[in-house]
């Protein structure tokens, strides 16, 4: 009797897990992703783009900067983006936003040097890479 109860409980737990996996596979949480600005390197080999992610919660508003070769499409990391709809390939800078107006400004100072400015950003960066391939990145970010 006890063994039968344990078997039934195990079967129910496996069924709940399988149904949850199917549900979240077919109805993932999606964020809205929009391009805020774009800048091409001076030698026209690289493109930097500033994106804004707006998920369901206001506290989940993020701004990020991604780099890619000119001519390459904007690509999503399959596993991460499937669950969120967020572009994260080539991401070099990520910061939480409090509201509108915190848009990172992008400036190429040389063919392989990018400056990211965000004077109105109030939070510390969640990601801040100094280099992406041959491109060196400098930051001028405001803080509280």
- Exposure of 23 by Cβ count < 10 A (0-12 exposed, 13-18 middle, 19+ buried)? exposed
Residue 26's pLDDT is 64
> Which is higher by pLDDT, 6 or 25?
6
Q: Pick from 69, 76, 27: which is nearest to 51 by CA?
A: 76
Measured distance CA(93)–CA(78) in Å, rounded: 20
Q: Kindly state the percentage of the chain with pLDDT values over 70.
A: 77
Residue 93's pLDDT is 93
pTM: 0.70
Supply φ then ψ for residue 32, to 5 degrees.
Answer: -85, 135
> Which is higher by pLDDT, 35 or 92?
92
Residue 42's pLDDT is 94
Encode pLDDT of 73-121 as tens digits. Answer: 876 654 444 455 567 788 999 888 876 667 899 999 999 999 999 888 8
Residue 100's pLDDT is 62
Residue 81's pLDDT is 46
Average pLDDT over residues 6-19: 88
> Which is higher by pLDDT, 33 or 66?
66
Q: Kindly state the percentage of the chain with pLDDT values over 90.
A: 35
Residue 21's pLDDT is 72
Residue 28's pLDDT is 56
């Amino acid at each position: 009797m006890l063994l039968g109860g344990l078997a039934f409980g195990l079967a129910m737990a496996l069924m709940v897990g399988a149904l949850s996996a199917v549900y979240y596979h077919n109805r993932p949480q999606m964020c809205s992703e929009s391009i805020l600005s774009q800048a091409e390197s001076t030698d026209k080999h690289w493109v930097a783009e500033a994106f804004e992610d707006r998920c369901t919660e206001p506290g989940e508003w993020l701004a990020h900067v991604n780099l890619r070769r000119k001519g390459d499409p904007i690509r999503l990391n399959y596993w991460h983006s499937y669950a969120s709809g967020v572009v994260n390939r080539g991401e070099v800078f990520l910061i939480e936003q409090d509201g509108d107006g915190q848009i990172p400004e992008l400036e190429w100072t040389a063919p392989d040097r990018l400056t990211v400015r965000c004077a109105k950003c109030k939070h510390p960066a969640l990601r801040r890479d100094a280099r992406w391939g041959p491109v060196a990145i400098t930051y001028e970010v405001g803080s509280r």
